[in-house]
Structure 1
């Protein structure tokens, strides 16, 4: 099974957005530049993550993207399904019932063993992704990655994040 390159980009962007302060955002162009991606290519995946409510998109000159909920509440499965869709990777076409040597449909009462095995593997794969939170990825990055990479990533986020201005209605009056 091969996941599309968009999954890698989506997970990296979500992990980067986990480092944004408060209500701040990061612009799509900055994330595309950080990972050497085409902005239009990345935008397609950011829109999918927004539609899946993994990210929020804020318009305007200080707009950009941020996580829609805490990183502890986002799983890798959430991100993969947003980018790749909900269909299983393997889709049985029942080819055993086609072709020159196909038998009467009554011979095929038991499910295809190949389909059963592939769906079992799909469930295991999805369970592993569902058990891994974005916060786990970020924590592991912070603890186990060369600290020069961590520092560069933190500096990039600090340099490119856009703080959100509150309107008068949103300000708390003492």
Structure 2
């Protein structure tokens, strides 16, 4: 959507077709992105979804948290309390080396995702695939390509 014209909405049906996803599944994700103020929903015959902010202002972490939630990926279940020498009242989420390692990995992962914007991803795709921007925008906006007109 970062390549569609500013102010133009893309229908959920067109997005589902473009990404080859079931419409019900995609609608659930789109609504999560609206709740997170990443997308806005536009009603009416030319309605659909559009970015709520500039692509430079939307991090990959914003998108991940909107869809997956903000819960920790690893949840310490405190199984060490039942091991030999375990203490039933110990806070293993804080003292367990596995829990600490997993938390460190998650913080590193989240930091990296927060550093990357969707605009940065779009720029990387354009460098690798120079026609991607035009072709994607055309498909998302429902504009027929030159090859389609001659058929």
Q: Same fold (TM over 0.5)?
A: yes
- 2:74 is the counterpart of 1:90: yes
CA contact under 8 A between 2:78 and 2:91: conserved in structure 1? no
What does 1:38-53 align with in structure 2 at a 5 Å threshold?
38-53=22-37
Distance in 2, Cα, partners of 1:95 & 1:127: 29
2:26 is the counterpart of 1:56: no
Partner of 1:104: 87
After TM superposition, what 4+ stretches of structure 1 lie above 3 angstroms from structure 2? Answer: 101-110, 147-151
Contact 1:32–1:42 at 8 Å: present in 2 too? yes
1:3-35 Cα distance to aligned partner (Å, 9 max, x none)? xxxxxxxxxxxxxx1112121100000000011
Do the aligned partners of residues 108 and 56 (structure 1) sit closer, same or farther apart at CA in structure 2, a change above 3 Å counting? closer
1:23-38 paired onto structure 2 within 5 Å: 23-38=7-22
Structure 1 length normalisation: TM-score? 0.74
Per the alignment, residue 102 of structure 2 pairs with 118
Deviation at residue 149 of structure 1 after TM alignment: 4.3
> 2:135 maps to what in 1?
152
Residue 80 of structure 1: how far off its partner (Å): 0.3
Aligned partners of 1:148 and 1:125: how far apart in 2? 31
User: Gapped runs of 5+ residues in structure 1?
Assistant: 1-16, 161-174
Point out which structure has higher relative CO (alpha carbons under 8 A, 6+ apart). Answer: 1
Q: Which runs of 5+ in 2 are unaligned?
A: 144-151
Match of 2:126 in 1: 142
State the SS of the aligned residue for 2:95.
coil
Q: Secondary structure at the match of 1:105?
A: coil
RMSD: 2.0
